[in-house]
Structures are given as structure tokens and as C-alpha cells.
Amino acid sequence: MEQQINILISGGGTGGHIYPAIAIANELKLRYPEANFLFVGAKDKMEMEKVPQAGYAIEGLWISGIQRKKVLQNLSFPFKLISSLFRARTLIKKFKPTVAIGTGGFASGPTLYMARLMGVPTLIQEQNSYPGITNKLLGKKADKICVAYNNLERFFPASKILKTGNPVRQDLLSIYSKKEEGKDFFNLNNSQKTVLVLGGSLGARRINQLIESQLSFFDSQQVQVLWQCGKLYVDEYKKYNENKSVQVHAYLNRMDLAYAAADFIISRAGASSVSELCIVGKPTIFIPSPNVAEDHQTKNAQAIEDKHGAITIKEAELSNFPIVFETLLKDKGKQESLSENIHELALPNATSDIVNEIEKLIKK
């Protein structure tokens, strides 16, 4: 009789933790169609919506992170943590996972900690060049740690680390044959260059403010703007859709076609975005968010810039943007070298490589 395979996955808080978790689940489902899947997330976070949309069951924990600026909110943290540990224990006893996978975020801490304590093999997937506190703590006991950057031996036991890269949308692997389709889909002008602006799944206030202030500059350079401003900001910026060379979207459902249509990309430097942009291989300007744990976006962007694969502009230096962009726009050689160098850093087989490691734990 075949062993029943139960796969527990925890990760969330942001798209950067959720989408890798779903990509891993999808690949496991291809290999083990009869397996049972259970996701564990944080109540009120976006995974509670996104995971069911992807076709998987999810349970929520009452958990949140330490608030750096709202100290009073931290008074409830010990109660949330204890509650989440007990809830995770109950879920694990009932579900009986064969393996537990963590992709980062608040909920993965108590879930993976309790799974390991109860003898479940565990794998964590660290997306960033600088790990968050949850994965740093979990890494001490995890069976395997899949990473996307070099030099993470500072944070994790070297014997457990495997460099796989981050899971990305598989439809990105064929974007070079989709440029015309992308331009048609977004109704873009073939005689103009296109800049694609990405601020993450919720949007980035500072990037949106920058783009708003530079619309006449882009116009003067004959550059059209495909602008994903985020659902928090779409009401504020949708008025610019009246400008025929500007398109404002809360969210881009066909990211493959958006990437395919773009000549230049302006983006935050979250781990998933960086991994996607390495595969996309277009001239990229990173504007890292300074408001994230351990300033990890700046470190992610720096890892690419150090290999001459992108340009980084810090939020405090955005007054330099017009000069940087115009210089890039006029320098074909620079565009080509940025594209080649960032593309060389791509790890397109990440999902498959991570799932190969999970399979080893299942068979163990």
C-alpha cells in the first residue's frame, strides 16, 4: 500500500512569500497528484485570499511581527505567539504532515518550529540575500535550506544550504517570443520605448510619487509608461490614464506580457521581483524599499549591481533619476550589457530544484 503524502506549507504576509509557496505546491502536485496539501498563514494577511484562489486549503494563525514603530502593539505579541504555537500543534496533529515547508513570513515561524519539534522533516526557502529573523531561527533546526544568493553561511549551517534560486512564474521563460503580443495586449505604441513600473503587489508610495513627478519628462523622451501602482494607490493615480502614453493599473494579471512589452523596468528589489527580473533580462533600475527588515531590498539590489546587472537608486537620491534614466536611454551599449549581465544571474530551474530536495525528505 502506498504511503499517503501530506504536505504542509507555511509562508505569507507579502507576495514574495506567498507566490514561491504556491509555485512549490503546484510542482509537488504535478509529481504527487494524490497528495493532500494544507497551507498555514496569518489571519487577515493576503495569503488567506491568494492561496484559496490558487486552489489550496489554508488555516490562519493569530500572529503578526514585531512592530518597530508601534511599540504598544507589541504587548500582544507573546499572547499571539503562544496561541499560534498551540494552534500549529493542533493542526499538525490532525493533518499528520509527511514534510513541512516554510517560505518565510510571520506564520511560518510557529508552524515550522512546531513541525520540527514533532519530528516532521522540514525545508525552508529563503528568498533574500539577507534572511529575516523567522528563517534565521528556523534554519538552526531545519533539514534543508534552499537559498537564492551566495554567502548565506553567515546565517545558516553550511551543510544544510543549497543554492537553488527563487521559484518564478514559468510563463516568464518564453517572454522573448511575446514582445509583439505584449504590445498588442496593452495597446502600446510601437514607435515608442516602454518603461514598466513595478512597486510590488500593494504598490510603493515613493515610486508612485516619482513617476507622477516624471510624466512630462517621459513624454519629452518619447517613452510610454506601463505603471502598476498597486491597489492602495489606484484611485489616486488612475486620472493619468487620460494621457495616451500612460497606463495605470492596480495590478498586472499578465506579467509575462508586461515584461515582454517593456524596454526598461523600474522596480522595487523584493526577492521574487529580483529573481523574475534576472530571467526577464531587461535594463533595470532598482529603487529598494528602505522600510523592510534589515534593509534587505538594498542588499538584494546591491548583489545584482555588484555584477553590473542593474542600476540602483536609493529613495534618498531620487532627484538623480532623470539624469540616470536619460543616460541609460541614450546608451545602447549600456542597455545591452545590463541585460546580458542580469540574465546570467538567472536560476530558471529553482522550483524544480527545490522540489527535488523536498522529494528526498518525503522518501526519507
Q: CA–CA separation, 347 vs 276, rounded Å? A: 9
pLDDT at 221: 97
- Tens of pLDDT, residue by residue over 55-107, are 999 998 887 665 555 555 666 667 677 878 889 999 999 999 999 999 988 88
Q: What b/e readout covers 275-307, taking b as 16+ CB neighbours within 10 angstroms?
A: bbbbbbbbbbbbbbbeebeeebbbbbbbbbbee
Q: Identity (one letter) of the amino acid at 334?
A: K
Q: Which residues are annotated as a binding site for UDP-N-acetyl-alpha-D-glucosamine?
A: 14-16, 128, 169, 201, 297
Write the CA distances from 161 to 136, 155, 230, 261, 345, integer angstroms.
12, 10, 34, 36, 18
Residue from 287, 280, 270 nearest 197 by CA: 287
pLDDT at 67: 56
- The residues near 147 (Cβ < 8 Å, ≥ 6 apart) are 125, 126, 156, 161, 162, 163, 164
pLDDT at 69: 57
- Tens of pLDDT, residue by residue over 235-253, are 999 999 999 999 999 989 8
pLDDT at 82: 81
Q: All domains of the chain, ordered by start, with CATH?
A: 6-167+349-363 (3.40.50.2000), 170-344 (3.40.50.2000)
Q: Is 341 exposed, middle or buried (0-12, 13-18, 19+ CB in 10 A)?
A: middle
pLDDT at 76: 64
The three cell numbers of residue 178 are 511575446
Averaged over successive runs of 10 residues, the pLDDT of the chain (364 residues) comes to: 86 85 95 96 88 94 65 64 86 97 91 96 94 89 95 94 91 91 96 94 90 97 97 94 95 94 97 94 96 87 96 97 98 98 95 97 91
Q: CA–CA separation, 31 vs 25, rounded Å? A: 10
Q: CA–CA separation, 201 vs 183, rounded Å? A: 22
Residue 25, SS3 per DSSP? helix
Q: Which residues are annotated as a binding site?
A: 14-16, 128, 169, 201, 297
Q: Is 136 exposed, middle or buried (0-12, 13-18, 19+ CB in 10 A)?
A: middle
Q: CA–CA separation, 49 vs 322, rounded Å? A: 38
271-280 and 332-344 are packed helices; what angle lies between their axes, rounded to 10 degrees?
Answer: 120
